[in-house]
Amino acid sequence: MDFSGFLGNQEVKSALSAAFKAGRFPHTLLLQGEPGTGKRTMAKRIAKALVCRHPEKAPCGSCPSCIRARAGSHPDIRLVEPVGSARSITVDAVLKVIEDAHRVPEEADRRVYILVLGSRPSEAAQNKLLKILEEPPADAVFLLVCVSAEQLLPTVRSRAQCFTLRPPTVEETAAYLVDREGLAAEEALRLARLTDGNIGRCLELQKTRGGVEGELQAFDLAQTLAHEALSIHGDGLLKAVLPLYKDRVLCREVLVRLEILFRDACVLRAGADKLLSGMSQTAEELCALPRAVLLQRKEQMRELIRRLDGNANLNLLVTCLCAALREKSGRSVSPDDQD
Ligand SMILES: [Zn+2]
């Protein structure tokens, strides 16, 4: 299976290629990964390869099947995703897939279903899906796409072979943005650093005018607030949060970055070094707090994000954020004397 042009994720690409070559491609594949890591792009590439007429170099890109797949009009590839304001795939959509999957393929040897499950697929939809995954028609392949397999029922998870997509390195992403998107080298590197190499996020930010600036502001603010959480008096906290009172989007960005920062500090505390925040120095400074406190802060940030998404009152929410950051933390003098 040819994945050229798809950055990083070498292990996933090798495993899928090997399975395809050996003729033991799984009936059900689950691609998980944070938004922007290319799950849908990869699912489409796999679908194209599965219908390509030249299996030895699939997807060849030039046979009629590849051309139709690229145009989104191949009769044996179905893309099913949440529509309109829905955030997850519906029961009706799954029922249609079940009905369709029992038909004989029209052109290829198999029918391929790309099912973008969405953020929290309902239990009802998953139970319907389970029916077809338990006894899949011999010539059907299901490519499930979701942010985290944890959101799925264990019964659905156990039916699928799961692969995790991760962002490529900052350097690889920057080079991609220069080559494919025509960005100036400096701008590309700045975007790649801001997003820790997440290409989807880069493209999204680049599209929204002022997006990069907004992101930088969130980055700076999260860092400032983390420092305030560490300081003895926290005098600057009330001033630092002022921009959040009038900007929901910014507030969410800051909360997300703080959650990742606290998560990174926990990771460092545990002796690992796979950081996600792009703020390694601040994460190290946060290690002055006991691990239990870091975990608690991380959960508090998560809860605040949930409340923000649930349309909570912004003033109240920012006040809660300040309280959480200033909560008595049992901050230790030396990073090593507590845990
Ligand atoms: Zn082809």
pTM of the complete model? 0.66
**Residue whose pair of structure tokens reads 């290319």 in the numeric block:** 38
Residue 53 CA to ligand 1 centre (angstroms): 5
Q: How many residues does the chain have?
A: 339
Angle between helices 211-230 and 248-269 (to 10 degrees): 50
Residue 20 CA to ligand 1 centre (angstroms): 15
Q: Which of 234, 233, 300, 307 is nearest to 261 (CA)?
A: 300
Residue 181 CA to ligand 1 centre (angstroms): 25
What pLDDT is stored for residue 79 in this prediction? 95
Residues 133-154 have pLDDT tens digits of 999 999 999 999 998 898 899 9
CATH class of 10-164: alpha beta
Residues 228-260 have pLDDT tens digits of 888 877 678 888 999 999 899 899 989 999 999
Residue 224 CA to ligand 1 centre (angstroms): 52
The upper half-sphere exposure of residue 92, i.e. CA atoms within 13 Å in the direction of its Cβ, equals: 3
Give the C-alpha distances (Å, rounded to integers) separating 132 from 35, 70, 135, 272, 275.
26, 27, 5, 40, 39
Residues 295-329 have pLDDT tens digits of 999 999 999 999 999 989 999 999 999 999 988 66
Residues 71-103 have pLDDT tens digits of 999 999 999 998 877 788 999 999 999 999 999
Residue 71 CA to ligand 1 centre (angstroms): 13
Q: Does residue 333 carry a pLDDT above 50? A: no
> Under a CB-based contact definition with an 8 Å cutoff, are residues 278 and 239 in contact?
no
Q: Does residue 188 carry a pLDDT above 90? A: no
Residue 135 CA to ligand 1 centre (angstroms): 29
**Quick count: other Cβ atoms within 10 Å of Cβ 107?**
14
Which residues are within 8 A (CB) of 51 and not within 5 positions of it... i.e. 6 or more apart? 65, 66, 69, 74, 76, 77, 107, 108, 109, 110, 112
Q: Which of 146, 152, 193 is nearest to 165 (CA)?
A: 146
What pLDDT is stored for residue 208 in this prediction? 64
Residue 96 CA to ligand 1 centre (angstroms): 27
What pLDDT is stored for residue 210 in this prediction? 54
The model's confidence at residue 62, banded by pLDDT at 50, 70 and 90, is very high
- Residues of the chain with pLDDT > 90, as a percent, come to 62
Residue 69 CA to ligand 1 centre (angstroms): 9
Residue 293 CA to ligand 1 centre (angstroms): 54
Residue 73 CA to ligand 1 centre (angstroms): 14
d(CA 51, CA 111): 8
What number is the average pLDDT over the span 184-202? 85
The model's confidence at residue 293, banded by pLDDT at 50, 70 and 90, is very high
Mean pLDDT for the chain? 89
Residue 58 CA to ligand 1 centre (angstroms): 6
What number is the average pLDDT over the span 27-48? 94
What pLDDT is stored for residue 234 in this prediction? 67
Q: Using the Cα atoms of residue 170, residue 273, residue 201 and residue 261 in order, give the sign of their dihedral.
A: negative
What number is the average pLDDT over the span 117-143? 93
d(CA 258, CA 214): 15
What number is the average pLDDT over the span 262-283? 84
> Under a CB-based contact definition with an 8 Å cutoff, are residues 199 and 68 in contact?
no
d(CA 325, CA 138): 55
What pLDDT is stored for residue 212 in this prediction? 67
**Quick count: other Cβ atoms within 10 Å of Cβ 234?**
16
Q: Does residue 331 carry a pLDDT above 60? A: no
Helix (H) or strand (E) holding 79: strand 77-80
Alpha helical stretches, state H, the chain: 10-21, 39-51, 64-71, 91-101, 123-134, 154-157, 170-181, 185-194, 199-207, 211-230, 237-240, 248-269, 280-286, 291-309, 314-326
> Under a CB-based contact definition with an 8 Å cutoff, are residues 142 and 30 in contact?
no
Token reading at 161: 């072979």
Order of all β-strands in the sheet with 111-116: 77-80, 111-116, 140-146, 28-32, 161-164
Residue 45 CA to ligand 1 centre (angstroms): 11
Residue 76 CA to ligand 1 centre (angstroms): 14
What pLDDT is stored for residue 152 in this prediction? 93
Residue 1 CA to ligand 1 centre (angstroms): 11
Q: Does residue 200 carry a pLDDT above 90? A: no
What pLDDT is stored for residue 338 in this prediction? 39
d(CA 51, CA 65): 6
d(CA 273, CA 288): 16
What pLDDT is stored for residue 10 in this prediction? 94
Residue 115 CA to ligand 1 centre (angstroms): 22
Residues 158-175 have pLDDT tens digits of 999 999 999 899 999 999
